[in-house]
């Protein structure tokens, strides 16, 4: 993402795919044939899907209030759609929304269009959730949950997993200064995320079944990890001379089951990369 437009890096070159001016969170479908994204409006946003060539745009949600912008009724009826993620079979999208609520919970909608359905289990934590990522088998979703820290003064985000078959919720990583931007590995065994410690933000992985997180970077200035489709590489944003650029590192697991990371390498840079929208890696 640059300045509200969607760009693609391919074969060493960056090209603009969609010139929209208000887009965010572009995400490739599992087969690489479509892209989901959000368009930001005046106090609302909507979810869209387009073909991989940027054509055939379809609007999935219609969250713009039918009232005078800036009026009380407009504000009360404005709805956000944020952070979409594809189901592994490409038939649905899950995203965060405050539809019919004062807080953001997770919702599911058919990727071809249809009525969104709230994932009720995500309401039980009682506060805003965001940044969902599917397990490769489509049965679970990892997401962030915003909580008040132990000092009662600041907020942090913890990682939770919801089982879509049973509705069970389980914490994955909690405490400290917070963790965010979780992404499930293609083999289903690991979840990468950004962990905050003090003012530093670094890349971590944790077993998807739970366990001790392992820190992969030590620059303190990373964001927005994404896995390569084969699970052997992680791409992420890193602050470099005052701007965010795209880095990669090789990921492997030792015979003893310990995750290992190669040396981060700069992949490419571009102007005004949107760190909130992050990255998405297609096949």
Q: For residue 178, what are the domain limits? A: 119-283
- The yes-or-no verdict on residue 6 having pLDDT over 80 is yes
CATH number where 245 lies: 2.120.10.30
- The answer as to whether 8 is a domain residue is no
CA distances from 255 to 140, 190, 249, 252, 260 (A): 27, 16, 19, 10, 11
Domain assignment of residue 224, yes or no: yes
Average pLDDT rounded to a whole number, residues 190-212 = 96
265 assigned to some structural domain = yes
- Write b or e for each residue in 134-153: b if 16 or more Cβ atoms lie within 10 A of its Cβ, otherwise e: bbbebebbbbbbbbeeeeee
pLDDT in tens, 10-63: 988 999 999 999 999 999 999 999 999 999 999 999 999 999 999 999 999 999
Count of structural domains within the chain? 1
List, for residues 149-188, the tens digit of each pLDDT value. Answer: 666 566 789 999 999 999 999 999 998 899 999 999 999 9
Q: Which residues 6+ apart lie within 8 Å of 63 measured at CB?
A: 41, 44, 45, 46, 78, 79, 80, 81, 99
The answer to the question of residue 151 being in a domain is yes
Place of tokens 């998405």: 280
The answer to whether residue 58 sits within a structural domain is no
246-276 pLDDT, tens digit each: 999 999 999 998 999 999 999 998 888 999 9
Between CA 278 and CA 78 the distance in angstroms is 25
- Position 150 scores a pLDDT of 61
Mean pLDDT of 237-254: 93
Considering the entire predicted model, what is its pTM? 0.94
Q: Give tens-digit pLDDT for 90-142.
A: 999 999 999 999 899 999 999 999 999 999 999 999 899 999 999 999 999 99
Pinpoint the alpha helices (H) of 230-270: none
pLDDT (0 to 100) of residue 149: 62
Instruction: Report yes or no on 72 lying in a domain.
Output: no
Residue 174 within a domain: yes
Neighbour-count burial of 13, counting CB atoms closer than 10 A to its CB (0-12 exposed, 13-18 middle, 19+ buried): exposed
pLDDT above 70: percentage of residues in the chain: 98
Which DSSP string do the residues of 38-106 spell out, in sequence order? EEE-SS-EEEEEEETTS-S-EE------SS-TTSHHHHHH---EEEEEE-TTSSEEEEEE-TTSSS-EE
């Amino acid at each position: 993402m640059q300045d509200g437009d969607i760009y693609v890096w391919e074969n060493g070159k960056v090209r603009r795919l969609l010139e929209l001016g208000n887009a965010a969170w572009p995400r490739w479908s599992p087969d690489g044939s479509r892209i989901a994204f959000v368009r930001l409006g005046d106090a609302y946003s909507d979810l869209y899907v387009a073909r991989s060539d940027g054509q055939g745009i379809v609007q999935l949600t219609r969250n713009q209030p039918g009232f005078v912008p800036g009026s009380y009724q407009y504000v009360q009826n404005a709805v956000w759609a944020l952070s979409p993620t594809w189901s592994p079979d490409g038939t649905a999208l899950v995203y965060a929304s405050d539809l019919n609520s004062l807080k953001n919970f997770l919702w599911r909608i058919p990727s071809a269009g249809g009525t969104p359905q709230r994932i009720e289990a995500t309401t039980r934590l009682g506060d805003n959730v965001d940044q969902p990522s599917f397990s490769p088998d489509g049965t679970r979703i990892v997401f962030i949950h915003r909580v008040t820290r132990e000092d009662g003064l600041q907020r942090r985000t913890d990682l939770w997993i919801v089982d879509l078959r049973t509705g069970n919720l389980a914490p994955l990583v909690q405490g400290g200064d917070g963790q965010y931007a979780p992404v499930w590995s293609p083999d289903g065994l690991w979840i990468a995320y950004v962990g905050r410690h003090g003012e530093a933000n670094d890349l971590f992985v944790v077993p998807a079944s739970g366990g001790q997180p392992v820190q992969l970077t030590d620059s303190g200035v990373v964001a927005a990890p994404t896995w390569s489709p084969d699970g052997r590489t992680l791409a992420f944003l890193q602050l470099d001379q005052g701007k965010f650029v795209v880095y990669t590192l090789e990921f492997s697991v030792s015979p003893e089951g310990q995750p290992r990371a190669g040396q981060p390498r700069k992949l490419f840079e571009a102007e005004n990369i949107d760190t909130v929208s992050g990255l998405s890696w297609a096949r």
